[in-house]
Amino acid sequence: MVKKTLRDIDTAGKRVLVRVDFNVPINGSGNVTDDNRLRTALPTINYLVENKAKVILVSHLGRPKGKVVEKYKMDPVAESLSGLMGRRVVKVDDCVGEVTKNAVAGMKEGDVLLLENVRFHPEEEKNDAGFARRLAEPAEVFVNDAFGAAHRAHASTTGVARFLPAVAGFLMEKELEALGGILEAPGRPFAAVIGGAKVSDKINFLSSLLQKVDLLIIGGGMANTFLAAQGYDVGKSLLEADKAGLAKEIIKEAGDRGVKFLLPVDVVAAKEAAPGAARVTVTVDQIPPDYMVLDIGPKTVAYFTEALKNAKTVFWNGPIGVFEIEDFSRGTKAVARALAGIDAVTVIGGGDSVAAVRDAGVADKMTHNSTGGGASLKFLEGKQLPGVAALLDR
């Protein structure tokens, strides 16, 4: 770890601004429906509380686009965090200004304060220096524990580091060590399983990945573009027809580099992505013209599982099908269970992939479940993450 962490500084009695990633799902009743991101921040928060710091938490929630939006207020998050910690987490109605200064001034050692959604201010995403200064003003130290937002140069991730000594929290440290390990010295064979909807979202990452892996498996909606590039008719499936050329280039590059490149050989298709929709399982050359591909079939599950069984490092990002609908979740869950059963370092690259391994009941069998989908892709691509670069070097 080349960046300073909480262990490298004295936080006792100090006002510590902690950037957390509390961008959690909240239902129509105003309840947090998945508290995983809150739980992953607890080691850092509890450490600061135990060391008598005054803990000031700041996060974004949703995409309010610089305006106050009722459904994106942090009140349900404060309530859920209070329950997890077994102590009251006070929530304040802004993240800057007098109301925030007064709330911080009234804090005692060991208190935890949650600021209002930082994205209610348009200056946050613009990384406005004046706003960053106001955000930093009540604090003495900055701790970035939001790996999931580390690939964004915003006021609360990089801007405040201009005004406060900045170090990594324990979650940030864990993420960098896990991802750094597979980037710098992966056990081989090194396999990557990449799913999700679009090739265009991951084209640069795929090209970079081909320089590192021995096996690349493509699934999910993006596999349709690769299948179409090979001449298959994918019916009414999600497809980026204009990216067929790029798909062909990636397939060729894999061959040139000696990377084993796998696509589905059979699929589960239906006329609509809906629970209970009539579905068929067919080989990729028999997809009906009025159907859409929504999952991989059993032959593909066996094909992928066999290919992965001898891997020593696996990185997985993106579901293999429309896993949020039970009827089309079997392929994704099968791949998750396959990874849980092999003797390898298994790193799950955030977002839907982590949700999938939890749904499959095997999250605890993975070496590391990342909290940052986009951040993990950027990191493994070899790109510098602004939120990490802003931290003090050890």
Going by the DSSP 8-state scheme, the letter that residue 244 receives in this structure is H
Torsion of CA 339, 343, 344, 349, to 10 degrees: 20
- CA atoms in the 13 A half-sphere facing the CB of 326: 2
From 15, 37, 119, 174, the catalytic residue: 37
From 52, 162, 198, 312, the catalytic residue: 198
Q: 348: which strand partners? A: 316, 369
**Residue 374 falls in the annotated catalytic set:** yes
Which amino acid appears at position 2 of this protein?
V
H or E element, residue 19: strand 15-19
Q: C-alpha 288: how far from its chain's center? A: 34
Question: What CA–CA distance (Å, rounded) separates 86 from 129?
Answer: 36
From 220, 235, 349, 374, the catalytic residue: 374
From 196, 297, 331, 351, the catalytic residue: 351
Is 38:32 a contact under the CB 8 Å cutoff?
yes
**Residue 37 falls in the annotated catalytic set:** yes
- Tell me how crowded residue 351 is: count the other CB atoms within 10 A of its CB: 19
**Residue 299 falls in the annotated catalytic set:** no
Question: What CA–CA distance (Å, rounded) separates 63 from 303?
Answer: 39
**Residue 351 falls in the annotated catalytic set:** yes
Q: C-alpha 216: how far from its chain's center? A: 20
| Token digits of residue 143 | 């701790």
> Catalytic positions, please?
37, 198, 351, 374
